[in-house]
Amino acid sequence: MTINEIQSEIVDEFSEVDDWMDRYGMIIDLGNSLPPIDEKYRTPDHLIEGCQSRVWVNAELTPEGKVHYTADSDAIIVKGIISLLVKVLDNQTPDDILNADLHFINDIGLSEHLSPTRSNGLLAMLKQMRLYALAFKNLKLKM
């Protein structure tokens, strides 16, 4: 699926639920379904700077030229948020990740229901995921 198709799917799922407490429940469920990150990536090198909670993100380039993300957090809502980002960006090409307009964040109302510190954390997570994509794009250009 493309990034836009995945975003549309997420927007559709969230549009079925009006109450934000229920939407938080959906985000928590997504976080609970996120596969655990390998312990070897729970290091300071993989911690996201700018997050109030601890969030670890790792990325690897697959032989097919797509970015595979793994992530985890020690905060349940934040784990759900990083799970959403992984769901949208995982197994996409570096170019697609770098060029993506992640409109689903606003479309589902997430940005307006986050505290300022969580909003900053969301931006920091997204920035790190895009930095991984940029690094892999540059790596491919050098090959």
Q: pLDDT tens across 21-78, in order? A: 999 999 999 999 999 899 999 999 999 987 778 999 999 999 999 999 999 999 999 9
The whole-number pLDDT of residue 34 equals 94
- 69: which strand partners? 59
The whole-number pLDDT of residue 66 equals 97
Name residues whose C-beta falls within 8 Å of residue 101's C-beta, 6 or more positions apart in sequence: none
| Token couple for 55 | 């969030």
The whole-number pLDDT of residue 142 equals 64
- % of the chain residues with pLDDT over 90: 82
The whole-number pLDDT of residue 111 equals 84
* First-to-last C-alpha distance (Å) of the chain: 27
**Residues labelled as active-site residues:** 51
pTM: 0.93
What average pLDDT is seen over the chain? 93
The Cα–Cα gap between 124 and 51 comes to 7
The CA distances from residue 72 to 9, 14, 31, 44, 103, in Å, are 23, 22, 8, 13, 23
The whole-number pLDDT of residue 43 equals 94
The CA distances from residue 110 to 22, 63, 64, 66, 94, in Å, are 13, 34, 32, 27, 25
